[in-house]
Structure 1
Amino acid sequence: MDRYIELWVESLPQLLLAAAQVTIPLTIIAFVLSLVIGLFSTAARNLGRFNPLNWLATTYVWFFRGTPLLVQLFLVFYGLPRVGITLDTWSAAIIALSLNTGAYVAETFRSAYASIPRGQFEAARTLNFTRAQTLRHVVIPQATRIALPPLGNDLIDLVKGTSLVSVISMVDLFQSGKQVAARTFEPLAMYLEVAAIYLVIFTLLSIGQQYLEKRTSRYVRTANA
């Protein structure tokens, strides 16, 4: 056990550096882009059944939700060079992670929008709200509260999904742990430490998610109110 503790203390700076330089920035960039992609995809899917943008957005969501992230990473990093598009590891990882998470975010936005009762829109029309006013004062506040829990889950899944970028030679938290394990011949100790760091990130995100849910639900009346 003393050997494990010594290894954990010795390798912790390297693992935290990998998390700070790769895992966390990659997560933030990909999640912000996925929100934009999800928003545009949701808008496109509400343009009408026979609109080409609707078909494109629907096909995009179908493909990226129906195929593994690992396959998507290989397609972007190893497959695109076959058609003349060569990307560095950061660009390939950001594109694959953003497109993958964006498909799930699009479904989150779509379900949140669909869950708002039609009567809310009719009430807005009786008040002579424009479409923009209806979105701002009626749709977005309610949809945001509904979408927060699944969006938090999408973010947590994205953090864990970044561990797959090691297959395209990015030295993230997981790959850094693999390197230390290969050098010290102590895979159990190192992967336990990597798992512990992921658990810390997960716990912090969960606390933040719960805080945001409480903040956005402050003015929601309960059934007994």
Structure 2
Amino acid sequence: MDTWIAQSLPLWEAEAPAWSRIVGVFDLETTGIDVSEDRIVTAHVGVIGTGGAIHRAQDWLADPGIDIPEQATAVHGISTARAREAGRPAAEVVTEVVAALRGLFDQGIPVVAYNASYDFSLLAHEAERHGVTPLHDPSPVIDPFVIDKAFDRYRRGKRTLDVVAEHYAVALDGAHEAAADAVAAGRVAQAMVSRFPVPETAAELHTRQIGWARAQAASLTEYFIKVGRISADETVDGGWPIR
């Protein structure tokens, strides 16, 4: 069910590009980290406005059709038993999540997703698994993970959402809960684009992120080879927003 919430937050700087005043937000919590094999457990698609105010929010709990590993439950709090009891059929959830995102893109609303290539890739595989037409080329997508690494490349420390949110003074209550993560990512994106010289249009920023993600993956590949994490003939996939 959609919920509409009025919420007052401090405004971001006036220099933020016009497109950042209304953005979609998207996040998944899943059974694991393999985008081709793991399944959706919870999902959130919403819209936030100026200052991060929540305008629209829709949440889903799915029965993924497989057992949820204990390590995944430890992250997002959803057990296999709860998903089977209260979750809706995965095919229905995937259909509705894809439709909600497609609706935002059709309206020209950019969608923020933190580490977008994970969420959009897993959703694409889930869509194919359940016979749903996937989002083949979602655009424009805004990924604070990619933007942060592009504009603040040498900052030390982790780049997880909770750490990055704290760096940009964005509250994140209930980390690893789809709605909380999605909204926090949207607010982080709004903070970033008011601080950095990003393109004036979301479409141009989308295009730039494709190149940034590719370069970041190449740099990570070099590092992983150097420390022996991967072999010299392996590479980190830099496909974005779907890999």
What TM-score do you get using the length of structure 1 for normalisation? 0.27
**Higher relative contact order structure (alpha carbons within 8 Å, sequence separation ≥ 6):** 1
Higher-Rg member (1/2): 1
Relative to the length of structure 2, the TM-score reads: 0.26
Identify the structure with the greater strand proportion.
Answer: 2
Larger % of helix: which? 1
